[in-house]
Amino acid sequence: MLTKRIIPCLDVKNGRTVKGINFKNLRDAGDPVELAKIYAEQGADELVFLDITATINQRKTMCNWVSEVAQALDIPFTVGGGISSVQDVEVLLKLGADKMAINSAAVKNPQLISEMSLAFGSQCVVVAADAKQIDNEWFIYLNGGTLKTKWRLFDWVKEAEQRGAGEILFTSMDHDGTKNGFALEALNKLNNLINIPIIASGGAGTMSHFKDAFQIGHADAALAASVFHFGEISIPELKQYLKNQKIAIRL
């Protein structure tokens, strides 16, 4: 049985880690490199760094902190934000990143998923799906959650899988930062729909929420930000709790 993964997420803006609610009202959470070191020492399985204003500001992911993070870490990490070509991926991989998260660029040009998968392998390609529920339908949003698309979540993830995505990072915008739990029904449906790993994101507030993401939502990994950044949940305690709940986890 594959072990479930705990993944702290660091949203980076102007070189600082920030966190908000429903993608808004951002507050400072610290230096991304220093936080990365702490999480690695605490036993995080992976890290995700999202340059959250790169697409909106039409610039590339900041390369300086990616290189610093790579030098500081011995666990895999994913980088996202402003990635729009195979050349962008090549630069970030050379700087030490392990995976690339693509969202807006993939929706605008789905062929990019295929190109990245062919060039670097599907294990490198994480398709980030930011979605919001409207009249019982989940729709994909772009540009940091500011632009609604015509893509329905479940159609889009199937398309992404067929084009070579290695993982889906599903963030429920309705749950993001609320600490009321993950979107379990949607996670469960995604699990039944596709055959690639699903990372649950949006809504973690208690250790039981992580348990539910794995046992009810059948997620392969659970991602969270503020509960880790502000010391509300410690990774070692969370992992021990999950192990006690008979969930396969790496201590």
**Which positions are catalytic?**
11, 130
Structure tokens at 130: 């930011």
Q: Assess contact for 8 and 43: CB atoms under 8 A.
A: no
Closest CA to 202 of 7, 16, 33: 7
**HSE (CB half, 13 Å, CA atoms) of 21?**
5
Give the closest residue to 3 by CA, choosing from 241, 239, 203: 239
> Are residues 225 and 203 in contact, defined by beta-carbon separation less than 8 angstroms?
no
Length of the chain in residues, anyone?
A: 251
What is the enclosing helix (H) or strand (E) of 51? strand 47-51
For residues 69 and 188, what is the distance between their CA atoms, to the nearest angstrom?
33
- The residues facing 12 across adjacent strands are 17, 51
